[in-house]
Structure 1
Amino acid sequence: MAASDRERWDARHTAAGAGSPLPPDALRGRTDLLPSSGRALDVACGRGAVAVWLAMRGLDVVAVDVSPAGLAAGAGLAAAHDVRVRWVEADLDAGFPRDDDRYDVVVCQRFRDPALYPALRAALAPGGLLVVTVLSEVGDAGGPFRAVPGELTAAFAGLEVLAHGEGNGEAHLVARLSA
């Protein structure tokens, strides 16, 4: 990611008000699918709303983002809710930070890079839950940041699909790796 992109995200996160913990979009109405313990990875976590929500549900969370301002906001949100999250600054455009860890839950909300799809899958522990939401061409105009129809189900073929939807400019997938 160019330095100007990082600066743009930092400015956006700095200007935003205090956030609230929120479930990932694709899990709203499906929170029963989430384990009550284990490890979770929040990829492109932004200001940490999902990471803190996961930690509040009893998961040990690692949250990754390029923006130091976003990570600082997330750390403040975690402190306000008395939960721990490990915050990792990483430029996902340079690749997925590999530590060979496996996670019971992997969330990627509103960040789309098809080159990272294999790494998201590889980060799942057996029985792990993948939760992805991206912008989509379906029901909206196309563009370089929007998934084509069927992109998520094709990218994560072989996982058990628990929920999938495309429409109104958004696509989501909730899927499980076999145990």
Structure 2
Amino acid sequence: MTTQDRLRWDARYENQGAPPEAVALPEPFAAHEHEFPATGQALELACGAGVFSVWLARRGLHVWGVDVSPVAIAHARDLAARNGVGEICRFDVVDLDGGLPAGPPVDVFVCHRFRDPRLDRAIIERLAPGALLAVSALSEVGAQPGRFRAKPGELTAAFAQLETIASGEGDGEAWLLARK
């Protein structure tokens, strides 16, 4: 990622300020809360201010969240501490243009409102047997085409070797919940 892109994300998180202390499972996954395990390891790409990661940690998972923005990572660490899960959350600045950070297989893999098709194969390989993938992205469905928007059916095609639990497309968002 370019320095200009990183600075743009930093500015966005600085303008938003720290997230509120209360966390909830983000839409569109809230209706499928029962699918998320209460133990194990989780990895969240482009975790932003850490809301999804902290929700997973409060559920009982050990979570590693990565994001390109140091400002977002600072917010995520603060949110985890304020929610009493700082000891089971790790947040690091990582530029995903270099690929996934090295690490063991995970039980939950999250990419919420982030999409980089170059990482699809590595994501699948990183899932432990029976692991859950929760991915959402901007979509062309119900919106204008764009450089960072998934094409219709892109997520289900990219992760076709996984067992789809639920998926949807519309109003400019595509999402998939699947199990390895």
With structure 1 as the length reference, what TM-score do the two structures score?
0.95
Tell me which residue corresponds to 1:42.
44
1:155 aligns with 2:166: no
Deviations 1:87-133 (A, max 9, x none): 1211012221122x111100001111111111111111100000000
Tell me which residue corresponds to 2:96.
92
Determine the C-alpha separation between the residues in 1 that align with 2:27 and 2:135. Answer: 9
1:134 aligns with 2:137: yes
User: Identity percentage over the alignment?
Assistant: 52
1:169 aligns with 2:168: no
Q: 5 Å matches for 1:1-179?
A: 1-20=1-20, 21-84=23-86, 85-99=89-103, 101-177=104-180
Q: List alignment gaps of at least 5 residues for structure 2.
A: none
Matched residues, number: 176
Moved over 4 A (4+): none
Q: List alignment gaps of at least 5 residues for structure 1.
A: none
- Offset at 1:6? 0.7
Q: Which moved more, 1:72-81 or 1:13-22?
A: 13-22
CA contact (8 A) 1:26 1:131 kept: no
With structure 2 as the length reference, what TM-score do the two structures score?
0.94
Q: Cα gap change, 1:97/1:112 in structure 2, threshold over 3 Å: closer, same or farther?
A: same
Deviations 1:116-155 (A, max 9, x none): 1111111111000000000000111001100001101110
Q: Which moved more, 1:14-23 or 1:60-69?
A: 14-23
Cα RMSD of the aligned pairs, angstroms, is 1.0
Determine the C-alpha separation between the residues in 2 that align with 1:71 and 1:47. Answer: 6
Q: Which moved more, 1:12-21 or 1:112-121?
A: 12-21
1:4 maps to a residue whose letter is: Q
SS of 2:28 mapped into structure 1: helix
Determine the C-alpha separation between the residues in 2 that align with 1:121 and 1:64. Answer: 17
1:66 maps to a residue whose letter is: V
CA contact (8 A) 1:26 1:173 kept: no
1:166 maps to a residue whose letter is: E
- Offset at 1:26? 3.3
- Offset at 1:36? 0.9
Determine the C-alpha separation between the residues in 2 that align with 1:171 and 1:104. Answer: 22
1:30 maps to a residue whose letter is: H
- Offset at 1:65? 0.5
Deviations 1:27-61 (A, max 9, x none): 21110001111111111101111111111110000
SS of 1:35 mapped into structure 2: coil
